[in-house]
């Protein structure tokens, strides 16, 4: 975030009139004496100092972990060989003529299980970026066992075919050893791709989406004209100092100023997030058959949990989840939601008892192993403290969810976080994206004004 640095000396007050922090019309009559260098330096303090403005940096999107690896392997699958292609290109000029001569002298009785031919652009032809392209033309695989004479005939036909290529085209070294190594690498990459595809399919099956009509009618129900007018009035400048709603159970009061965080391009604040999570819990209590049994910690829980001298401090939050205070045991819940605030970015952690896993959802694709370790330790201490029993969560998965809607700007992370909790508590897939955020802002404002989540 941006920072503003100023000199608090009263003599510098006049420097605030100019946009740059310095008043160019200011006239200073005092002159520096030349008695000593020390006195001259000390007198420099009478001159106004300019404001120093630092550029505001929004969070940047990045790809890591499972998504990056999958993307890399798919690039190879599609023929964009990455580093391998760059290496081939760098040796293209040196290998062109020897490769063509080798094609002319291929012996007919030597066996070959596969031939790989690469088309290299002309030396003089380059794209706008100055990088020539390397394109995989064909990989011919002979998986059937044939007689040696048939293999020789097939090889001669293939070599004759590629000998007709223009001199601009290059042929990779066709000796049996290099071909065998290349085949081994390609088979390994194909296996990795199939393995990652299978893992992705299993993860998607683990989150079955409810019927299509349920998803369309409930989470995406449009606002009525009256509701739109109510939200517009609450977000107007005239209501900034008014108390709009007061939630007695959580003792949270929302003023017009606080509700402004649901305006376009604004960052969500703690009060709005915490009240919305309270409304999600009340929604579950009204319709327990329709929603999972969940617990929603507020935005201060995780900060308190890791605020001890040595980091982790269970005793600081031990009283937050008593049976008397909640009306239920924490470990009776299917899912426990924990908002995570990282200075200027919101994420969501989930203790998923239903599927026995700890989950981390970041709309920018980040991953924080420390958060999941702290929550694993917390739930172990919580069960031990409240029931006297021990629970082993070492076998639970730690999942950094990647197949989720991604944030495409620097201000919607809070909205993504609360909608992750909303959809997970419905036990449906995260079937929304960045385009739904303006609607979700209006809908959240409407639900807060009515103190009822739908």
Residues 6+ apart with CB under 8 A from 398: 357, 358, 360, 369, 372, 376
109 among known catalytic residues: no
The partner residues of 337 in beta bridges, in order of sequence, read 296, 350
Q: Which helix (H) or strand (E) holds 23?
A: none
- Give the rounded distance of the alpha carbon of 63 from its chain centre: 7
Degrees, nearest 5: CA angle 297-219-274: 20
Q: Are strands 170-171 and 357-361 parallel, antiparallel or unpaired?
A: unpaired
92 among known catalytic residues: no
Strand order from edge to edge, sheet including 114-120: 134-141, 114-120, 170-171
Degrees, nearest 5: CA angle 385-387-393: 75
CB burial of residue 52 (10 Å; 0-12, 13-18, 19+)? exposed
Residue labelled with tokens 């293209």: 92
Catalytic residue from among 121, 294, 333, 362: 362
Fill in the DSSP letter of residue 47. Answer: S
* 244 and 254 Cβ atoms separated by less than 8 Å: yes
* 330 and 288 Cβ atoms separated by less than 8 Å: no
The helix/strand count (H/E) of the chain reads as: 15, 12
How far apart are the C-alpha atoms of 43 and 32, rounded to whole Å? Answer: 7
Alpha carbon distances (Å) from 62 to 345, 352, 403: 14, 26, 14
Catalytic residue from among 103, 345, 347, 412: 345
Alpha carbon distances (Å) from 160 to 154, 166, 316: 10, 13, 78
* 223 and 443 Cβ atoms separated by less than 8 Å: yes
Angle between helices 65-77 and 176-205 (to 10 degrees): 130
345 among known catalytic residues: yes
Strands (E), 154-270: 170-171, 243-247, 252-255
Catalytic residue from among 103, 112, 294, 413: 413
Phi, psi of 421 (to 5 degrees): -65, -40
Q: Are strands 346-352 and 134-141 parallel, antiparallel or unpaired?
A: unpaired
- Read off the tokens for 245: 């709603």
- Read off the tokens for 75: 């690039």
- Residues annotated as catalytic (active site), given as ranges: 345, 362, 413
């Amino acid at each position: 975030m941006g920072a503003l640095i100023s000199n608090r000396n009263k003599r510098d007050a006049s420097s605030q009139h100019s946009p740059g922090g310095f008043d160019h019309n200011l006239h200073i009559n005092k002159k520096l004496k030349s008695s000593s260098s020390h006195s001259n330096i000390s007198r420099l303090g009478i001159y106004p100092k300019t404001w120093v403005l630092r550029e505001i940096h929004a969070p940047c999107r990045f790809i890591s972990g499972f998504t990056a690896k999958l993307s890399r392997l798919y690039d190879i699958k599609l023929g964009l060989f990455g580093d391998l292609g760059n290496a081939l290109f760098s040796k293209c000029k040196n290998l062109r003529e020897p490769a063509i001569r080798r094609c002319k002298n291929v012996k007919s009785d030597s066996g070959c299980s596969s031939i790989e031919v690469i088309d290299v652009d002309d030396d003089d032809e380059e794209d706008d970026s100055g990088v020539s392209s390397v394109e995989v033309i064909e990989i011919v695989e002979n998986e059937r066992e044939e007689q040696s004479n048939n293999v020789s005939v097939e090889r001669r036909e293939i070599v004759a075919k590629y000998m007709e290529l223009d001199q601009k085209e290059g042929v990779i070294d066709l000796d049996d050893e290099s071909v065998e190594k290349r085949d081994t690498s390609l088979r390994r990459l194909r296996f990795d791709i199939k393995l990652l595809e299978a893992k992705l399919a299993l993860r998607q099956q683990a989150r079955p989406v409810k019927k299509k009509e349920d998803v369309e009618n409930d989470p995406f129900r449009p606002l009525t004209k009256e509701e739109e007018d109510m939200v517009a009035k609450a977000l107007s400048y005239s209501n900034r100092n008014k108390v709009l709603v007061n939630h007695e159970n959580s003792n949270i009061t929302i003023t017009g100023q606080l509700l402004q965080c649901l305006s376009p391009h604004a960052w969500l604040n703690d009060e709005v997030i915490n009240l919305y999570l309270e409304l999600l819990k009340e929604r579950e209590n009204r319709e327990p058959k329709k929603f999972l049994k969940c617990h929603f910690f507020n935005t201060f829980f995780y900060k308190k949990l890791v605020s001890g001298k040595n980091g982790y401090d269970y005793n600081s939050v031990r009283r937050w989840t008593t049976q008397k205070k909640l009306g239920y045991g924490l470990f009776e819940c299917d899912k426990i939601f924990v908002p995570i605030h990282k200075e200027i970015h919101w994420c969501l952690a989930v203790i998923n008892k239903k599927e026995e896993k700890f989950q981390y959802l970041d709309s920018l694709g980040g991953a924080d192993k420390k958060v999941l370790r702290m929550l694993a330790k917390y739930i172990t201490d919580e069960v031990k403290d409240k029931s006297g029993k021990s629970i082993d969560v070492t076998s639970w998965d730690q999942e950094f969810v990647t197949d989720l809607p991604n944030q495409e700007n620097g201000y919607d992370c809070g909205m993504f976080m609360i909608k992750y909790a909303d959809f997970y508590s419905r036990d449906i897939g995260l079937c929304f994206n960045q385009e739904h955020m303006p609607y979700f802002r209006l809908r959240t404002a409407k639900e807060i004004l009515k103190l009822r989540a739908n």
